[in-house]
Structure 1
Amino acid sequence: MKYRELIKKMTLEEKASLMSGKDFWQTQEIERLGINSMFLADGPHGIRKQAVAADHLGLNVGIPATCFPTAATVANSWNEELGERVGEYLGEEAISQKVNVLLGPGVNMKRNPLCGRNFQYYSEDPYLAGKMAAGYIRGIQSHGISACVKHFCANNQEERRMAIDTIVDERTLREIYLTAFEIAVKEGRTRAIMSSYNMINGTYTNENMHLMRDILRGEWNYKGCVITDWGGSNDRIAGLLAGNELEMPTTAGETNEEIIKAIKSGKIKEEVLDECVDRLLELIFTTEEVYKRPHIEFDVDKHHRVAQKVAEESIVLLKNEENILPLKYGKKVAVIGDFAKNARYQGAGSSIVNPTILDHTMDCFNESGIISIGYEPGFERYGKKDKKKIEKACELARKADVILLYIGLDEVTEADGLDRQSMSIPENQIELLNALYTVNSNIIAILSCGSAVEMPWISKLKAVLHGYLGGQAGSRAILRILSGDVNPSGKLAETYPIRYEDTPSFHNFPGKEVSVEYREGIYIGYRYYDTASVDVLFPFGYGLSYTTFEYSDIHVSRYGATFKLKNSGNVAGMEIAQLYIGCKSKEIFRPKKELKGFTKIFINAGETKTVTIPFDDKTFRYFNVKTNKWEVEESEYEIMIGASSDDIRVKDTIFIEGTGAPLPYDKAALQSYYSGKTNNVTVEEFERLIGRKVPVSKWDRSKPLGYNDTIAQCQYAKGIFARFSYYMIVFAYWFLRKIGKRSTANIIMMSIYHMPFRGIARVTGGVVNMPMLDGILMMVNGNFFKGLVHLLKERNKKLKSPKNK
């Protein structure tokens, strides 16, 4: 241990006190020993340090900070160096606000397009997500502070996220849901990791010895800190044993007492606590070094320009019929759509950033060279139908050569704590599109949303430009692409299915009660669509340019693939070349192709460049569940270089010697997995894959409700008081949506409805402790007066405690 001598000077109580927060965002300090508190702040795409009373829901306004494009947007750049640059600027702003730990990036997989937090995550592919995250981490930590990669792991739905049990086989866990974290740890060298709320195979991630000890600390040799998600601690002693250093937010000393009692009783050894203290001290001392230097404010205008550059390189051109883009000089343009005037530029919830500057489309036309003849909102932002707005929009559209139609998803549709209900764009926007098409068919749609949507209406559009959530400078960036000042170079980091029913997890998302089963296994995203031969709207890695690129002369060696790339068009541009591999052996089930490398290259018109994409330790590996190790299967491998997963331009083969591991599967027993057609696997076949019975996925309504049951389950409670409370919550949600207060309604769902009872104690900063919670549960389970007496008794005891005087 690095700080052994300092730890010897601490009392048991002082050591335990460091294991949970001082308040909502700060850690505890020990003044007599020179141990200062750290400040942790949300920051996946901008710093959210709140100016007034702290909360975790995004209710209170943060100190102004640059709002960069979200992770889902920047992933479309496929540019690790750009990600690192964003990280550098985030780190600089964190220092200006005296933040020690920036809570990001998020690297969870986009298992399903409806996950409400997909806008915060990079990709459906772990290799791309890991590489982009590693860049962010290197950039953030180059300033001396710490990144905090989240949410570790298999946190792929927002509904019931604090209680859901993720049932997943070991190979899928390793290859799909842990690989991005592995890259973040080994290549990004992150100093902190945030554990997720959910359970994995019956154990909360924060307490999961296999995840935290065997893999994270053991195989990956991780030396940094593990921090709980806010309110995400279940059993504090189990978490400590698993190697969790910091529980957030504060529990007003309640869990510190649990640690002290556990050590005094011999339940755990004090050395376990000392190891955790040592790792936390390393994070505290290393991240405070930067604050010994003179304070420097960041350059607001420079950071805004960087945000614009990032957005420009991340925007994806999805359709360009008749080469309508870039807009020809002198074309009269009608600007229609609420998102043009009031930009949709970021997600909602805990990641809300208060931007330093905010570009709006209507304010940027003069410098773009595009001639706007007027603006009409066309639709009501939150879905309400309005025929007059459509009529006015059509009247304007008749006078224009081209319509710029700004459509997408609103802020309350994409938010942490809630999943989307469908992949559809709101109906009132589609009614507007249909009406516009009857008067002017030259329609260019500019999409603003952080996740995949269905587009059954795309045939009525000449062009589609997807801006995703482009941050505070996204509006200007879009205009620069429309005008041709910038050649689009973004490519999709996720597949767009034709319909939601086509997705591999359609039948198993979300988990509604006890658990969610990952029956599709390793076949998520393009791995499924390609292998099962399912048609898609836009494939993974897809994106158009104003120029064209030719691939030729591939040569494969044991070190990588080399090929020639020519810009065969008339405009300079950037191309994202993607390396996929496919194993020709059929002995072990594998996807048809998997991304194993990529590079983004700028090429002048007519120029040819020789490009090499190297192989690495992840190129040929798979996880063998029999040997419990990464192995290489001996086989011929197809090496494919393409412009997308569905557009392979050149390919070659190479023979790779294997590690000689035994075959892990009985092919006859897992026919769905060998065919890749896994969107409706039976429970029996899934059980053969995981090697055990799956737990019952439904609530046992006969049992009394406990700590890990949710408020939603009060509908089955024995206590009339609890059932009444449940129906009042449901009514409040319905009523608030009815009167247009959708954001407030969402808060009820994510902060109350899906909250486990233990969360009441974990997120209230000690206002309600666990003994008081016992009284609440007595009331819920039918012993109202006994529970009420217990609650009041424990409350009085708490108020009389010396700590509260």
Structure 2
Amino acid sequence: MNIDLDAKTRLLAGQDMWTLPDAPELGLRSIVMSDGPIGVRGVEWSSADPSIALPSPTALAATWDVALLRRAGALLAQEARRKGVHVLLAPTVNLQRSPLGGRHFECFSEDPLLSGLLAAGYVRGVQGGGVAVTVKHFVANDFETERMTADVVVSERALRELYLRPFEIVVREAGPWGVMASYNSVNGTTMSENDLLINGVLRGEWGFDGFVVSDWFGARDTVGAARGGLDVAMPGPDTVYGPALAQAVRDGHLVEDVVDAHVRRVIDLARRTGATTDAPAPRAHEEIDGIGLARELAARSFTLLSNDGILPLARDAKIALIGGLATDARVMGGGSAQVFPAHVVSPLDGLTAAGLDVAYERGADPSVRLPAARFPLHAQARDAGGGLLGEVDLPDGELRWIGQLPAGIAFDALHTVTVEGAFVPETGGTHRLEVQGLGRFRLEVDGEVLFDGVIEPESDDVFAAFMFPPPRTVPVEVEAGREVAVRLVHTMPDGPAGPVPAVSFTLAHREPTAPEDELMERAVAAASAADVAVVVVGTSGEVESEGFDRTSLRLPGRQDELVARVAAANPRTIAVINAGSPVELPWRGDVAALLLTWFPGQEGGHALADVLLGDREPGGRLPTTWPAELADCPVSDVTPVDGVLRYDEGVFVGYPAWDRAGTEPAFAFGSGLGYTTWAYEHAGYADGELTVRVRNTGDRPGREVVQAYLAPAEPGPDRPARRLAGFAVAEAGPGEDATVVIAIPRRAAEVWADDGWRLIPGDYRLDTGHSIDDLRLSTPLAF
């Protein structure tokens, strides 16, 4: 390798938050990485360069459609190419072990097979567009509490059958070019240094030939990481690689051959993604309609959990649309999954655009925080002498400069960031403005200072304090039709900047609202006067986000009361649930229909109108079990004790655990309704394949997810009663039949033993049907 040791080790360390350095002597250009998984944010954590925002991964998983996820991946590759990104930091295939996991909206499912097959489709789509993925977080990073330091103690069998399984499926079926090592340890060894799992299992057993990157700030020890198989330490420039790695070789702690192996994998990455100086011109790709696909994905993911016949709605129905989330739409989860779409279609926007007769009432909010100001704003960065360093237009009041500041702004010279703009209120009275950020701020309205002070963190959790700082709210009396000028000045703190340059705060705004009790009464009155009430409720960023786990499955605020009172006032009430993972629904039996929209992405409002009207069928099926109450969950603990989180439940996670416990959930794994009905007419097994014929017995075209579960005749106390063995999507018109073929691999009947994978011979059944609690056909077979 014709470069010296310093150049080699420099290539393995981030040069900043998102990129690796170039290496002209090797013909390598700088490799650019970006967060996903629902979009491609690029190198700026900012709305300056908008991104398409697809539905959340739990929503994508609810489609149970591998081909559809491949299309989603192809769109993300198109977005990455547009932004000059070579590596997408996605998908996440950690399991939804407990519903309290704060980041589960970014994962696919509680089931390893479903997670792995869907992720493989996603990966094929992304990499088919010439962009690398990093399948993450390898491995057992299924919680947020102490995620950077906790040690997961898990049996080898559970590790193999559950937590490693989706990674293995993706590696074997889709050949990913990257994997991200997780923060946590597994059985005593931190994952960024885990030779047994990275070099032994991932590379040795599965034949993975891509690169392994640390989670950001997840590499701790130079020699341990290099020997453990970590190729790239991110971010930079301060990492355990670079000069520290070169010195470790010079000091005799590592042989240079180890460094060379890491460098070769980075060179392979550059060649695969076209980040070389001699790369051929990129091949042409068919242009994908991102907005159209986002809308289709959302509708296909919407999961109809109950319906007394009210859906689809008549177009002339008089609708009362109720809920804070009906206007302040939450379309994605928080943290690194955040992107900045050019627009967001709220439920109110979508129903109005569809020409429906809609009367809106707020009713209740999921959060005490105000939404980001939606009037045009302009940001200016200045040095201590008042000199202008740079400026940028903002589409709303959220400013996130993390890792890389807008062009021309030097962080070490930055002293103040000023955000200013103006709005013309349609409604006079008491508006509210809010500052959400840490540090010193001065808020002025029409030249009058309304807040001038320092906002201190209220949490010891660094991520939570940064992403969800305590707000400061001020009332503002304004006149309708008269322009209001707003100016917010943030002064940078003295002292060291920390590991990553960052400026992060939000100017929020809300028009006058009535007191909570009055909002509730108005919502009930509107529901009483309407043909149909549609109530949109869900979670907020304070209870469901990266960086912390959930403490409850209850809807925040007075949303449960809102649904219960609206349903009492109008029995034709449709509850729309906007959440990334399970919530308790104590009123679920009192509403006419229950529609789960997950975090639906930027086109969620249009998709909602499509589904409510029947222009599209709700295509979703639950990828995770939804409990009636948290107390019913057989596995819920996500809190380490003395730095250790024990997965003592072994292989009994998700629906196998519910089976063993004998407790009935609110909604079972795989469940969901469409707008037609299906008969399961025949199932036959031969030569490793299950052939199933279904018939659409309704009067509308439809889509059915055919699910096959393998059940041993004698499961025994240490073996699940059944496990998903395969699935397929069937589509047919009214009265028509469709036949699907589902591969049933030998692995479905194998368990992990001390000596490796072992077939358990004997009699089995393939139970096939609509969901795990609605199985229609049983097919005997033997292994």
Q: Normalization by structure 1: what TM-score?
A: 0.77
2:361 aligned residue: 376
**Alignment match, 1:486:** 616
Deviations 1:9-57 (A, max 9, x none): 1111111111210011010222343222100000101011244xxxxxx
Q: State how 1:231-630 maps to structure 2 within 5 Å.
A: 231-252=217-238, 255-288=241-274, 293=281, 302-321=289-308, 323-372=309-358, 374-383=359-368, 386-506=516-636, 508-586=637-715, 589-624=718-753, 626-627=754-755, 629-630=756-757
Give the CA RMSD over aligned residues.
Answer: 1.9
2:198 aligned with 1:71: no
Q: Distance in 2 between matches of 1:210 and 1:298?
A: 42
C-alpha deviation, 1:333, in angstroms: 0.8
Deviation of 1:611 after TM superposition, in Å, equals 2.5
Aligned residue among 108, 112, 127 for 1:122: 108
Judging changes above 3 Å, is the alpha-carbon distance between structure 1 residues 253 and 413 closer, same or farther for their aligned structure 2 residues? closer
Measure the CA separation in 1 of the matches of 2:8 and 2:778: 58
Q: Give the whole-Å Cα distance in 2 for the aligned partners of 1:586 and 1:454.
A: 31
Deviation at 1:67, TM superposition (A): 0.2
Contact 1:62–1:353 at 8 Å: present in 2 too? no
Is the contact made by 2:351 and 2:605 (CA closer than 8 Å) also made in structure 1? no
Is the aligned partner of 1:48 residue 2:37? no
> Greater RCO between the two (CA within 8 Å, min separation 6)?
2
Match of 2:773 in 1: 646
> Aligned-pair distance for 1:574?
0.2
Q: Distance in 2 between matches of 1:296 and 1:10?
A: 34
Q: What's the offset of the Cα at 1:329?
A: 4.1
The equivalences for 1:86-105 within 5 A come to: 86-105=72-91
- 2:764 equivalent in structure 1: 637
1:253 deviates by 6.3
Q: Is the 8 A contact 1:580 1:596 kept in 2?
A: yes
Could you say if the C-alpha distance between residues 186 and 262 of structure 1 is closer, same or farther in structure 2, counting changes exceeding 3 Å?
same
Shift of residue 159, structure 1, vs aligned partner? 1.1
- 1:579 maps to a residue whose letter is A
Deviations 1:659-715 (A, max 9, x none): xxxxxxxxxxxxxxxxxxxxxxxxxxxxxxxxxxxxxxxxxxxxxxxxxxxxxxxxx
Amino acid at match of 1:363: D
Q: Secondary structure at the match of 2:293?
A: helix
* Change in 2 beyond 3 A, CA 1:98/1:329: closer
Task: Note the C-alpha offset of 1:473.
Answer: 0.6
Cα deviation digits, residues 708-729 of structure 1 (max 9, x gap): xxxxxxxxxxxxxxxxxxxxxx
CA 293–366 in structure 1, closer or farther in 2 if over 3 Å, else same? same
Stretches of structure 2 that go unaligned for 5 or more consecutive residues are: 370-514
Partner Cα distance (2:192, 2:352) in 1: 53
Question: Does the CA contact (< 8 Å) of 1:368 and 1:483 recur in 2?
Answer: no
- Write the mapping of 1:670-689 to structure 2, written as runs, cut at 5 A: none
- Is the CA contact 2:704–2:730 (under 8 Å) kept in the aligned structure 1? yes
Residue in 2 aligned with 1:752?
Answer: none
Tell me by how many angstroms 1:232 deviates.
0.2
Is the partner of 1:423 in helix, strand or coil? coil
Q: How much has 1:261 moved relative to structure 2?
A: 2.6
Shift of 1:380: 2.8
Q: Could you tell me which residue of structure 1 aligns to residue 142 of structure 2?
A: 156
Kindly state the Cα deviation for residue 292 of structure 1 after the two structures are TM-superposed.
5.2
Residue 80 of structure 2 contacts residue 86 of structure 2 at CA under 8 Å; is this kept in 1? yes
Counterparts of 2:659 and 2:13, CA distance in 1: 46
User: Does the aligned pair in 2 maintain the 1:197–1:229 contact within 8 Å?
Assistant: yes
Q: Distance in 1 between matches of 2:688 and 2:20?
A: 46
Q: What per-residue deviation string (whole Å, max 9, x for no partner) do you get for residues 467-505 of structure 1?
A: 001100111111111111112221000000121122222
What is residue 784 of structure 1 aligned with on the other side?
none
Conservation of the 8 A alpha-carbon contact between 2:685 and 2:779: yes
Cα distance in 2 between the residues matched to 1:204 and 1:490: 37
Inter-partner Cα distance in structure 1 for 2:580 and 2:718: 32
Query: What is the aligned partner in structure 2 of residue 14 from structure 1?
Result: 7
Structure 1 residue 254: deviation in Å? Answer: 5.7
Distance in 2 between residues matched to 1:569 and 1:621, nearest whole Å: 39
Distance, in Å, in 2 between the alignment partners of 1:253 and 1:602 is: 52
Tell me how far apart the structure 2 counterparts of residues 334 and 514 of structure 1 sit (CA, whole Å). 50
Residue 82 of structure 1: aligned partner: 68
- The residue aligned with 1:771 is none
2:30–2:275 Cα contact (<8 Å) kept: no
Q: Would the aligned equivalents of 2:579 and 2:598 in 1 still touch at CA under 8 Å?
A: yes
- Which one of the candidate residues 198, 202, 218 is aligned to 2:204? 218
CA apart distance, 1:651: 0.5
Q: Residue 383 of structure 1: CA displacement?
A: 4.9
Letter in 1 for 2:12: M
1:96, 1:297 within 8 Å by CA — same for their partners in 2?
A: no
User: Partner letter of residue 336 of structure 2?
Assistant: S
Q: Where does residue 734 of structure 1 map in the other structure? A: none
More helix per residue: 1 or 2? 1
Count of residues in Structure 1 that have an aligned counterpart in Structure 2: 636
Q: What percentage of residue pairs aligned between the two structures are identical?
A: 34
- TM-score w.r.t. length of structure 2: 0.79
**Cα shift readout 1:507-559 (whole Å, capped 9, x = no counterpart):** x3221541100011111110111233211110000001111001022222232
Partner of 1:34: 27
Alpha-carbon offset, residue 235 of structure 1: 1.2
Aligned pair in 2 of structure 1 residues 570, 234: CA closer, same or farther (>3 Å)?
Answer: same
Q: How does 1:736-751 map to 2 (within 5 A)?
A: none
Instruction: Tell me which amino acid in the other structure corresponds to 1:421.
Output: T
Contact persistence 1:160–1:512 (CA under 8 A):
no
Distance 1:341 1:258, change over 3 A: same
Instruction: Give distance in 2, aligned partners of 1:588 and 1:387.
Output: 53
Give, in whole Å, the separation in 2 of the partners of 1:459 and 1:553: 33
Give the letter for the 1:377 counterpart.
R
Q: 1:654 to 1:405 in 2, by over 3 A?
A: same
The amino acid of 2:350's aligned partner reads C
Superposed CA deviations along residues 316-350 of structure 1, whole A, max 9, x for unmatched, are: 000102x0111134321101111111211111111
Structure 1 gaps of 5+ residues are 1-6, 52-57, 657-805
Q: Does 1:207 align with 2:200?
A: no
Displacement of 1:295 in angstroms is 11
Q: Distance in 2 between matches of 1:104 and 1:282?
A: 19
